[in-house]
Amino acid sequence: MNEVSLKPVIAELEDLFSKFNARFFADKLEKPVITVSPDHTRGAYGWCTGWKAWKAGEDEGHYEINLCAEYLNRPFEETCGTLLHEMVHLQNLQDGVQDTSRSGLYHNKKFRETAEAHGLTVEKGEKYGWHKTTLNPEALEFVQSLGKSGSSLVRPRITGLKGSSKKNTSRKYVCPCCGAIIRATKEVHVICADCDCEFQEEI
């Protein structure tokens, strides 16, 4: 039986972060904790926490960049584009630049400016602002020069639970910092007052 593990996927993402940091950010980005977990936001390819979500002993903590498990098997260039997108958020966090609003959903012109200066082409969407990013020609050429392919490992999205006959209209939201739970009958965007973190929907 072939062993299935996220370990090589995480190692690859960490290596890509280092390469992109050197090429597009002059090695000035703090190294985050890179994770892979399910998408609780209904469509995001990844995210960068706005707070230092991880700590090791008494250190000051580390930001988290996550790539969502349901999209790991996208083309390699697209996965790299997502990672670079989140690295732009990290750059702005370090510089004290607020590049989003509406609980991190709407990407403003400051995000666009930083993204365009660090390897991305940016387009404006109707709902979330300047959030549509792709690798610019220079970044695409660099990514293709690495000679790598995308991951075959993926966590398919579950559309319905077997044996479930009654539709549950309640949505469960969990604070990723303290674990507090709230429920709602529609999609909401709520900040935990204790942690200053956005509640994430549990699917």
What per-residue confidence (pLDDT) applies to 106?
A: 93
Chain CA centroid to CA 128, Å: 15
pLDDT-based confidence at 164, cuts 50/70/90?
very low
- The more confidently predicted of residues 48 and 3 is 48
Q: What are the beta bridge partners of residue 62?
A: 54
What per-residue confidence (pLDDT) applies to 145?
A: 97
pTM for the full predicted model? 0.79
What per-residue confidence (pLDDT) applies to 43?
A: 77
> Per-residue pLDDT tens for 11-44?
999 999 999 999 999 999 999 999 999 988 767 8
What per-residue confidence (pLDDT) applies to 159?
A: 64
| pLDDT averaged over every residue in the chain | 89
pLDDT-based confidence at 188, cuts 50/70/90?
confident
Stretch among 106-120, 163-177, 181-195 having the lowest mean pLDDT: 163-177
Instruction: Compute φ and ψ for 197, nearest 5 degrees.
Output: -120, 150
6-33 core/surface letters (b: 16 or more CB in 10 A; e: else): beebeebbeebbeebbebbbeeebeebb
What per-residue confidence (pLDDT) applies to 40?
A: 80
